[in-house]
């Protein structure tokens, strides 16, 4: 089944404890992206990647890191999480290296930072 998977789905952690949220897609997509969703603010893009080893900042990259060493994986790293990073996170992928195509979203990761 073609899909985008994220792990974990739920995570409660404490301030300053490094964490990684994994994202994987099995559709051989070029484009991958991370978003956070907060009430009243909609979806905001954190980072995106147009291909392996190519990443770029979205609108809210502060406090996050990403890497794209393989085409299928695009992990999101929070080196020192803070409470203002409590949010619902979505990973997405799209077939080509341009954003003129359908994005497929993962199921989401709900992160709480205490």
Partner 1 sequence: QQPVQSPQAVILREGEDAVINCSSSKALYSVHWYRQKHGEAPIFLMILLKGGEQKGHDKISASFNEKKQQSSLYLTASQLSYSGTYFCGTVTQGGSEKLVFGKGTKLTVNP
Q: How far is the CB of 58 from partner 1 (least distance, A)?
A: 6
Q: How far is the CB of 72 from partner 1 (least distance, A)?
A: 18
Instruction: Please report whether residue 100 would count as binding partner 1 according to CB under 8 A.
Output: yes
63 CB contacts (<8 Å, ≥6 apart)? 78, 79, 80, 81, 82, 85
Instruction: Please report whether residue 95 would count as binding partner 1 according to CB under 8 A.
Output: no
Instruction: Please report whether residue 40 would count as binding partner 1 according to CB under 8 A.
Output: yes
Burial of 4 (0-12, 13-18, 19+ CB in 10 A): buried
Of 42, 38, 28, 32, whose CA–CA distance to 66 is shortest? 32
Among 31, 34, 64, 74, binds partner 1 (CB under 8 A): 31
Instruction: Please report whether residue 90 would count as binding partner 1 according to CB under 8 A.
Output: yes
Instruction: Please report whether residue 62 would count as binding partner 1 according to CB under 8 A.
Output: no
Cβ proximity to partner 1: between 18 and 98 the closer is 98
Residues near partner 1 (CB under 8 A), total: 26
Measured CA to CA, the distance from residue 55 to residue 33 in angstroms comes to 9
Any idea which residue has 């952690």 for tokens? 13
Binding site for partner 1 (CB under 8 A): 31, 33, 35, 40-45, 48, 50, 56, 58-59, 90, 98-108
């Amino acid at each position: 089944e073609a899909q985008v998977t994220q792990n974990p789905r739920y995570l409660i952690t404490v301030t300053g404890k490094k964490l990684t949220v994994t994202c994987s897609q099995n559709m051989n997509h070029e484009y991958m992206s991370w978003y956070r969703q907060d009430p009243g603010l909609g979806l905001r893009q954190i980072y995106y990647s147009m291909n392996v080893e190519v990443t770029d900042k979205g609108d809210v990259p502060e406090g996050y890191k990403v890497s794209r060493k393989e085409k299928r994986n695009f992990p999101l790293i929070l080196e020192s999480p803070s409470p203002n990073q409590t949010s619902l996170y979505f990973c997405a992928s799209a077939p080509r290296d341009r954003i003129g195509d359908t994005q497929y979203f993962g199921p989401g990761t709900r992160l709480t930072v205490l």
